[in-house]
A and B are shown apart, each in its own frame.
Chain A
């Protein structure tokens, strides 16, 4: 049986921390909702994968990091990028394909990068960024640093060879990387039991001799607790870990899968929405008196305003100039 930890501390949580966690989750939720609207309006093209429903994982896990720690993710990475502290305006501009985007409009939704925040990017070949995470951790160790790398990926990456190659190398070389699997139970439309012989993903950690744990990915405090311990141990002992955060995506795989009705039932989705991480956390903060109704409403308004501002900024940003087409292909070397 998986060790799914759900924290219910008797004492009140710190109000400042509660405010921070709730703010970030609301910021992500609102950002994604507006991104969906902008996609419908044709302002955003291509593939757009929303993080709605999974906010507690990215926010809880990233909240235990230091600013100089690294985060790397796959293509459902808006939430991770926001949680790492990137400017929502420049993120939205990237989704719009505009010149003020984080990646100058050349990356799009799936390729957000922010070097100033040690955000190593959005990578869109499933499983391919797991070795990159090990490589970043290798570089930290090589340089004698004490940062850690947090690598987010979905359950869809687990059957890929690169998941197993990365687990093996990270454990073999004792690299400071914490792998956080966001198990939302569907790799696109393939349910986990149709993809994995071993569906308890955290158990792969045992195979590779590293620390492994499962956590309720809808409980931001539980995620914070479990990932916090893993990161702490990773920093201290340069030992990797694999965390399985059990979560659910409320929307389809991408905007091209709006109903997500083929591979899962409406009842299931409605049932899972009862576990909405934001609603749960808000209710809890109100119930134990950490935050007041007025404070929560103020946070909501503040986050809505931030996202409105981001949309306005993106809309006002010009398209990238045509000469950028062939720039940044090669870096000019300075021998």
Chain B
């Protein structure tokens, strides 16, 4: 076990998988010579050379399509989106090519690739560079979608994503790259996709949250514990496929649910979780499911407005108190 940053954990996962499998290569903007816009790929060009760390010009659709074509022939590309906002330029390649080739070829061509990079709210980057992007992808059959909240998860889930035979959308966060945590040293350590993690055990209410919102929910849980409200914080980690079993298991234990998400609420992850909780555990619920979501507006630049855009601790706390009747 070593203590390292989230960024270092990602770097280690890439390094280990490239050592393990010669079919794995990296492709994206500024990942080689520049060492990565957020330094996730630092030092990899030096170790693996230009053949396997491929700097591209700015053409997201073009280089994502190149990765899809290479994957059809059996390579295992890891595409870096400098930020996930730019993945919209490659949305056709992701949705119409990567996600569907296996199906529409009748199982002849699978696409083993990872598309990774930071997404979600960042610090004063404004509307086009600060938004929750997972919603654009988890609706699509054929894609898997991962949001890793801790350094340990970043390493273990990225390794599983690279070894997966399907296209995996792997969205990191600018705001988490610097956080530190314990990470297993074993190069064979992986975390399977599709497994939720109970971050804090509790008995009164289940709070579903991931990435920055997960940490905020943990702070709230700590404070509410002093008032005698026991929160169970569950991190889905993989949004598609989602670990419904673990999540429903928690609901059956606590009978109350609050979903926290940074993105705008309309048709967001909270909508989906509310729906399947209602379908699977309606009789177990003691209160309606509450959603605490980002405002239904683009991300503003002004610091005060930006803070108001994402769910605050106070809003999360209020929602928990409401469902607990406290």
- Which A residues are within 8 Å of any B CB, using their own CB? 70, 72, 101-107, 111, 113-115, 120-121, 123, 125, 128-140, 142-143, 161-162, 165-166, 168-169, 172, 327-335
Contacts and interface: CB of A to CB of B under 8 A. Distances in A.
Given A165-B62, A168-B59, A333-B166, A107 B69 contact: no
Given A128-B96, A132-B97, A113 B105 contact: yes
Given A132-B97, A333-B164, A107 B105 contact: yes
B325 interface: no
Interface string B56-99: 11010111111111111111000000000000000011001100
A327 B71 CA distance: 20
A139 B74 contact: yes
A106 B69 contact: no
A104 B107 contact: yes
A169 B59 contact: yes
Interface of B: 25, 51, 56-57, 59, 61-75, 92-93, 96-97, 101-110, 141-142, 144, 160, 163-166, 190
B96 A101 contact: no
Contacts of B75: 138-139, 142-143
A334 B166 CA distance: 11
Given A328-B107, A331-B165, A335-B163, A136 B70 contact: yes
Contact of A125 (B64, B68, B92, B103): B92
Contact of A132 (B68, B105, B110): B68
A142 B141 contact: no
A103 B62 contact: no
A115 B108 contact: yes
A72 B110 CA distance: 16
Contacts of B92: 125, 128
With most chain A CB atoms within 10 A of its CB, the pick from B61, B74, B97, B106 is B106
B66 A135 contact: yes
Nearest 9 A/B pairs, CB to CB? A135-B69, A131-B65, A165-B62, A104-B106, A132-B69, A139-B73, A113-B105, A103-B106, A135-B66
B61 A330 contact: no
9 contacts: A113-B105, A120-B69, A120-B109, A131-B65, A165-B59, A169-B62, A328-B102, A330-B144, A331-B107
A120 B57 contact: no
A138 B69 contact: yes
Contact of B108 (A113, A128, A332): A113
A333 B161 CA distance: 10
A328 B163 CA distance: 18
Contacts of A327: 107
A335 to B, nearest CB: 5
Contact of A111 (B25, B51, B69, B105): B105
Given A103-B105, A128-B92, A139-B73, 11 more contacts: A101-B106, A121-B105, A131-B62, A132-B97, A134-B69, A135-B65, A135-B69, A136-B72, A136-B73, A165-B62, A335-B160
Given A136-B73, A333-B165, A335-B163, A131 B68 contact: yes
B26 to A, nearest CB: 12
Contacts of A120: 69, 72, 109
Contacts of A333: 163-166
Contacts of A330: 102, 142, 144, 166
With most chain B CB atoms within 10 A of its CB, the pick from A70, A140, A162, A327 is A162
A132 B59 contact: no
Nearest to B99: A329
B61 A132 contact: no
Given A125-B96, A329-B141, A107 B70 contact: no
A138 B163 contact: no
A24 to B, nearest CB: 23
A90 to B, nearest CB: 10
A102 B62 contact: no
Nearest to B73: A139
A115 to B, nearest CB: 4
A135 B106 CA distance: 21
Contact of A142 (B51, B107, B190): B51
A106 B141 CA distance: 15
Nearest to A135: B69
Nearest to B62: A165
Contacts of A115: 105, 108-109
A120 B73 CA distance: 9
Contacts of A123: 97
Nearest to A162: B61
Contacts of A125: 92, 96-97
Contact of B106 (A107, A136, A335): A107
Contacts of A137: 69
A332 B109 CA distance: 13
With most chain B CB atoms within 10 A of its CB, the pick from A114, A123, A165 is A165
Given A130-B65, A169-B59, A333-B164, A142 B25 contact: yes
Contacts of B68: 131-132, 135
Nearest to B193: A333
Nearest to B64: A131
A165 B66 CA distance: 10
B102 A329 contact: yes
A49 B237 CA distance: 44
A128 B107 contact: no
B74 A168 contact: no
B62 A168 contact: yes
Contact of A140 (B25, B56, B73, B93): B73
A198 to B, nearest CB: 20
A161 B61 CA distance: 9
Contact of B70 (A129, A130, A135, A329): A135
Contacts of B73: 70, 135-136, 139-140, 143
Nearest to B141: A329
A137 B69 CA distance: 8
Contacts of A331: 102, 107, 110, 165-166
Nearest to A130: B65
